[in-house]
């Protein structure tokens, strides 16, 4: 009986903890719907949902990405890739992963250190930090651009790889923005982007534990084929490579 009361108290505290984090997520969704370029609200959604995700992961209530031995080993070893040297990468051959990534970052004026590098408190936050560091690598791998529709596509791809409440929330924010503004043609594009990304993420091999930094010198198309990365209905990957070659 005492054990049951303790369990009930713990569950009640957990629900309050979830409610607090979800309210913060909803606030961030509202702000993000008004300004899709405000990345700090994307980070807020990620951080709050990671808190919930870590609790649920420990309870075994969803598919644990750290059941992957390689990802668990990365966490246990504290693997953290050093900051990327964009200038050096951009000088690599234009058909390599590193070369395409470097040119992608330079052509769009993107910074690889756009996020705060902190020591992760738990596994799900560690995964989130890793995903932030490699976010634009995934753009290059999938051939998706950086407009709001392709960003929704990337979130769908993430969701196809692992259970990501953040991906679902960001997609929902995009859907909501289109509905509230009466732009139903955009709503259709958002839905299509998420669904195609999700299906492609499901078809691809597990990617969360791949150390892309060790593959900079490999041919991009070879890497895509190795991991079954293909999004036929979205912007084709090869034209993106050609555009980056032209920029170079």
Each of the 248 residues of the chain gets a pLDDT tens digit; together they read 666 877 888 888 889 989 999 899 889 888 877 787 788 888 888 889 988 999 999 999 888 999 999 999 999 999 999 999 999 999 999 999 999 999 999 999 998 887 777 889 999 999 999 999 999 999 999 999 989 899 999 999 999 999 998 899 889 888 988 888 888 999 999 999 999 999 999 999 999 999 999 999 999 999 999 999 998 654 544 444 444 444 43
Distance CA 114, CA 138 (A): 16
SS3 label, residue 219 = strand
Q: 3-class SS at 78?
A: coil
First to last CA, the chain: 70
Tokens encoding 84? 């990327």
**SS3 of residue 63 by DSSP:** coil
- pTM score, whole prediction: 0.84
> Where do the H-state alpha helices sit in the chain?
2-34, 39-59, 69-77, 86-90, 97-108, 123-133, 135-142, 148-161, 165-180, 184-203, 220-226, 237-247
CB 207 within 8 A of CB 223: no
Q: Token match 């070893």: residue? A: 77
Q: What is the pLDDT of residue 130?
A: 95
Q: For residue 193, how many C-alpha atoms fall within 13 Å in the half-sphere facing its CB?
A: 28
Separation of alpha carbons 24 and 114, rounded Å? 22
* pLDDT at 35 (0 to 100): 80
Helical H segments across 63-143, by residue range: 69-77, 86-90, 97-108, 123-133, 135-142
CA 6 to chain centre: 37
Which residues 6+ apart lie within 8 Å of 172 measured at CB?
29
């Amino acid at each position: 009986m005492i054990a049951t009361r303790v369990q009930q108290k713990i569950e009640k505290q957990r629900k309050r903890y979830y409610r607090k984090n979800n309210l913060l997520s909803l606030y961030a969704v509202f702000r993000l719907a008004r300004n899709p370029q405000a990345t700090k609200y994307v980070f807020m959604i990620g951080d709050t949902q990671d808190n919930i995700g870590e609790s649920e992961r420990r309870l075994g209530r969803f598919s644990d990405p750290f059941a992957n031995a390689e990802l668990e080993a990365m966490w246990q070893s504290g693997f953290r890739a050093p900051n990327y040297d964009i200038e050096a990468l951009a000088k690599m051959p234009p058909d390599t992963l590193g070369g395409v990534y470097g040119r992608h970052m330079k052509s769009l004026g993107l910074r690889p250190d756009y996020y705060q590098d902190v020591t992760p408190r738990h596994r799900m936050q560690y995964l989130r930090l890793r995903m932030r560091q490699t976010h634009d690598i995934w753009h290059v791998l999938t051939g998706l651009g950086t407009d709001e529709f392709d960003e929704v596509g990337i979130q769908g791809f993430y969701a196809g790889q692992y259970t990501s409440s953040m991906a679902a929330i960001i997609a929902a924010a995009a859907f909501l923005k289109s509905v509230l503004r009466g732009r139903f043609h955009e709503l259709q594009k958002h839905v299509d982007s998420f669904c195609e990304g999700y299906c492609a993420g499901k078809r691809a091999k597990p990617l969360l534990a791949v150390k892309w930094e060790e593959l900079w010198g490999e041919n991009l198309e070879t890497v895509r084929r190795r991991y079954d990365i293909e999004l036929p209905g979205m912007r084709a990957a090869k034209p993106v490579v050609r555009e980056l070659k032209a920029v170079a």
